[in-house]
Amino acid sequence: MRLLRFDVSKEWVIYIPKDMPVVKKYAEDLSHYIKLLRQKSGLSLKLPSIQEGNEPLSGHRFPRILLLNEGNGWEQTGFSWHIEKDRIEIYGESDRGLCNGVFDFLASLGFSWPEPNQEVLPPVNKAKPQEYSAKEPYGYHHDKGNTSRRRLFLERKHPSSVWKSLIVWAVRNQIDSLVVSLYGSPLFHGKMQQEIANHPLIRFGRKMAGYCHLREDVFSLTQQYALTIERGGWDLSLLVPRWYFLFNREMFRMDSGKRDSQYNFCPTAPDTLNLISREAAKLFRAHPETLVYHLWPDRGHERAWCSCPTCRAFTREEQGRIAVNTAADVLARINPKGIISLYEDSSEGGDIILRPNIFKISHLPGEMGAEADGWFSETRFNWAKSRKRP
């Protein structure tokens, strides 16, 4: 990488494409951070101006920053940037890619955002306070597709101020998607489920209170930064509602010779597969805007599958594949662009082939190594210190 110099004392002008309000938001953020650098350097210059339209003729020699957006779809998040003496170009394949490029440039200058509401500025160069070093990325940062995006998993109920702090942190750390638990969907948080959950014959593997739900003002902020909303998590069992245990125990997991409603289910029972198809159809039709779903076994019991005579012929991974393949077939009919993630933590595999609209993940949010795979969890933060307004 080359070591480049960014001189904040110059009268930089930021140029953006016309009629792209999302790009204007990124330009405003970039202008704000340049102003912070000027203040830190003891300069009293005003904010860099933002101009819509084409770059002026090359004969006009004045410092300018160009934000360029190819305008591709949400699944393309690649970016690149480079610095010349009086010209900086930041290029994105899409709205999201351009946002990543802007904050990658700022991170290269020395900015960092370790937690929500925390901001670290670059150190001042004592020899030249107005100059900041930047390490230009080598080559072109290209996303490998929607299966390798950086994701923030959300599952708690928070006030809007906390949601906004999380979203701003995610954007500055180049996260592409927010993953919202299906417990935020009215399909899986009804009064009947709450009543059935207390039935003495039925045990749930997770608490039902405090589900995640994005308010309208929070959702608007995600749109401003072109963040994608994905749904799911440890929610595969929601496609087999626990109250069916009262009527058909053969649908549920066998453990030590007894049927148990807690944790996962029996994936080879015909009634179970029919129920998964019906419930999955309801889910996918209720959220036609969602293109990525995550359907994982119950948390902490990802390998607790069925031991009935039929299921014993399959590995744990194969049992999970049978269930998720069933949902994937439904999604392919209802939303051909949609995809589903499947969690597998070992290489047992088996002979059951995954559907084309399924991709595998090997780390779950919160696990060691998950962030290296692009999975971030809100549980990493100390909320006692972070409950400040953004």
Residue 13 sits in a domain whose CATH number is: 3.30.379
- Annotate the chain with three-state secondary structure: CCEEEEECCCCCEEEECCCCHHHHHHHHHHHHHHHHHHHHCCCCCCCCEEEECCCCCCCCCCCEEEEEECCCCCCCCCEEEEECCCEEEEEECCHHHHHHHHHHHHHHHCCECCCCCCCECCCCCCCCCCEEEEECCCCCECCCCHHHCCEEEECCCCCHHHHHHHHHHHHHCCCCEEEECHHHCHHHCCHHHHHHHCCCCCCCCCCCCCCCCCCHHHHHHHHHCCCEEEEEECCHHHHCCHHHHHCCHHHCEEECCEEECCCCCCCCCHHHHHHHHHHHHHHHHHCCCCCEEEECCCCCCCCCCCCCCCHHHCCHHHHHHHHHHHHHHHHHHHCCCCEEEEECCCCCCCCCCCCCCEEEECCCCCCCCCHHHCEEEHHHCCHHHHCCCC
For residue 85, what pLDDT is reported?
A: 83
Q: How far apart are CA 50 and CA 29, in angstroms?
A: 11
Q: Which residues in the chain show pLDDT less than 50?
A: 191-192, 194-197, 199-200, 204-211, 384-390
Q: How far apart are CA 197 and CA 242, in angstroms?
A: 8
Tokens of residue 244, six digits:
């069916």
104 found inside a domain: yes
For residue 159, what pLDDT is reported?
A: 80
Non-local (6+) Cβ contacts of 47 within 8 A are: 31, 32, 34, 35
Find where tokens 């029996």 sit. Answer: 266
Q: Kindly state whether residues 127 and 259 are assigned to the same domain.
A: no
140 found inside a domain: no
Neighbours of 337 (CB within 10 A): 12
For residue 205, what pLDDT is reported?
A: 47
239 found inside a domain: yes
For residue 127, what pLDDT is reported?
A: 81
Which residue among 83, 110, 135 closes a domain?
135
pLDDT digits (tens, 9 = 90+) for 258-282: 999 889 999 999 999 999 999 999 9
Which residue among 135, 164, 186 closes a domain?
135
What's the Cα-to-Cα distance from 142 to each of 18, 77, 112, 169, 260, rounded to whole Å? 25, 7, 22, 22, 46
Q: Kindly state whether residues 95 and 205 are assigned to the same domain.
A: no
Q: Kindly state whether residues 73 and 112 are assigned to the same domain.
A: yes
Query: Global pTM?
Result: 0.87
80 found inside a domain: yes
Q: Kindly state whether residues 129 and 157 are assigned to the same domain.
A: no
Neighbours of 368 (CB within 10 A): 7
Q: Kindly state whether residues 66 and 183 are assigned to the same domain.
A: no
For residue 84, what pLDDT is reported?
A: 85
141 found inside a domain: no
Q: Angle at CA 172, nearest 5°, toward 170 and 177?
A: 35
Find where tokens 């900041």 sit. Answer: 132
Q: Kindly state whether residues 131 and 150 are assigned to the same domain.
A: no
Name the domain count of the chain.
2
283 found inside a domain: yes
Q: Kindly state whether residues 94 and 186 are assigned to the same domain.
A: no
* Residues of the domain holding 184: 146-386
Q: Kindly state whether residues 265 and 346 are assigned to the same domain.
A: yes
185 found inside a domain: yes
CATH number at residue 327: 3.20.20.80
Q: Kindly state whether residues 369 and 296 are assigned to the same domain.
A: yes
For residue 191, what pLDDT is reported?
A: 40
Comparing CA positions, the residue from 160, 343, 149, 131 lying closest to residue 234 is 343
Which residue among 135, 161, 191 closes a domain?
135
For residue 294, what pLDDT is reported?
A: 96
For residue 142, what pLDDT is reported?
A: 58
Contact 106, 65 (CB under 8 A): no
Q: Kindly state whether residues 24 and 123 are assigned to the same domain.
A: yes
Contact 358, 133 (CB under 8 A): no
Q: Kindly state whether residues 201 and 104 are assigned to the same domain.
A: no
The DSSP bridge pattern shows strands 292-295 and 339-343 to be parallel
Q: Kindly state whether residues 344 and 204 are assigned to the same domain.
A: yes
